């Protein structure tokens, strides 16, 4: 939820409130439901923002990675649901590696879990 709030804050307070209202009333995805209805949330954002949704998805994933203490260096993410699922898996299984597919080019960014404060990079 913090990651979604962070991304929505970038739109401004009134837009954030309107967006949550629209998600709940038009798509049946309440603020408290986002983590359990990731696919519905992703579909709703894509319908609302069209191609501009990449910006919000990137902010959300970047904040999630920050909160999980992993480094994420990808500009465009097209498989948001899969990326969130992998990040959730890191929390539950303590995985050390997550692969996220790029949006516009066929590259893969590797997101490695930070261990003991060591610097971890990504590969393309």
Q: Is 95 helix (H, G, I), strand (E, B) or coil?
A: coil
**DSSP code, position 105:** S
Query: Where exactly are the structural domains of the chain?
Result: 2-112
Q: What is the pLDDT of residue 92?
A: 65
At 121 the pLDDT is: 43
Residues of the chain with pLDDT under 50: 75-76, 95-124
Domain 2-112, CATH class in plain words = mainly alpha
3-state secondary structure of 102: strand
Helix (H) or strand (E) holding 21: helix 13-27
């Amino acid at each position: 939820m913090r990651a979604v709030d962070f991304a929505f804050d970038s739109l401004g307070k009134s837009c954030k409130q309107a967006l949550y209202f629209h998600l709940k009333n038009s798509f049946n995805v309440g603020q408290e439901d986002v983590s359990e209805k990731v696919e519905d949330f992703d579909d709703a954002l894509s319908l609302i923002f069209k191609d501009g949704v990449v910006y919000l998805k990137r902010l959300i994933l970047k904040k999630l990675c920050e909160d999980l203490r992993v480094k994420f260096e990808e500009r465009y993410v097209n498989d948001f649901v899969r990326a969130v699922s992998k990040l959730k898996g890191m929390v539950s299984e303590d995985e050390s590696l997550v692969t996220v597919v790029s949006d516009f080019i066929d590259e893969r960014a590797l997101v490695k879990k930070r261990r003991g404060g060591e610097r971890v990079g990504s590969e393309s």
